[in-house]
Amino acid sequence: MGAIGIDWQVLLAQLINFGILFGLLFFLLYKPMRRTFDARSNRIKESMEQAEQIKEQMARTEEQVREQLAAARREGQDILAQAAQMGDRLKEEARGEARQDAEVIVARARTEIERERDEAIDEVKRQFVDLAITAAEKVVNETLDREKHRRLIEEVLEQAPGGER
């Protein structure tokens, strides 16, 4: 090998130096970085699983909201039906006075239905805001200013289609 300009002793020393350097880099850099990457990968995986759970919870909450709105509508229809029957009875007893009383009762029933519906919607929004804040706190792992986030979420809900009060 000396004929081609390679000294086997220098080559051997360089191979040993390379092996030592490779071993040091492997133990001092590669393994710690590998552990760091694995830990980060696990955190990301956990965050994704947590986000999926939150998504499922949101779907369940939306279904509950729909059910509560449907119940409120049914109750409102029942109240309107009762008010109409009451108006018919009063109309039979005294036509002139009964007509005015029935209109007042129907107006009150509609106002009451609208008030109860608004209260139900507000309650559902408050529950949704609390759930969103709790979910955000879990994802971020920090304590958040609940009142500030409640106002922010309520503003977004009001700006969303159908979110007007």
User: For residue range 105-125, what is the model confidence (pLDDT) as tens digits?
Assistant: 989 989 999 999 899 888 888
This prediction has a pTM of 0.34
**Helix/strand/coil for 112:** helix
Q: How many CB atoms lie within 10 A of CB 83?
A: 21
Query: Do residues 76 and 117 make contact, with C-beta atoms less than 8 angstroms apart?
Result: yes
Query: Do residues 165 and 119 make contact, with C-beta atoms less than 8 angstroms apart?
Result: no
With 0-12 CB in 10 A as exposed, 13-18 as middle and 19+ as buried, what is 165?
A: exposed
Q: Where are the domains of the chain?
A: 54-159
User: Dihedral (C-alpha) 144, 148, 149, 152: value to the nearest 10 degrees?
Assistant: -160
CA separation for the pair 117, 129 (Å, rounded): 18
Question: What local confidence, expressed as pLDDT, does residue 95 receive?
Answer: 79
pLDDT in tens, 64-94: 999 999 999 999 999 999 888 887 877 777 6
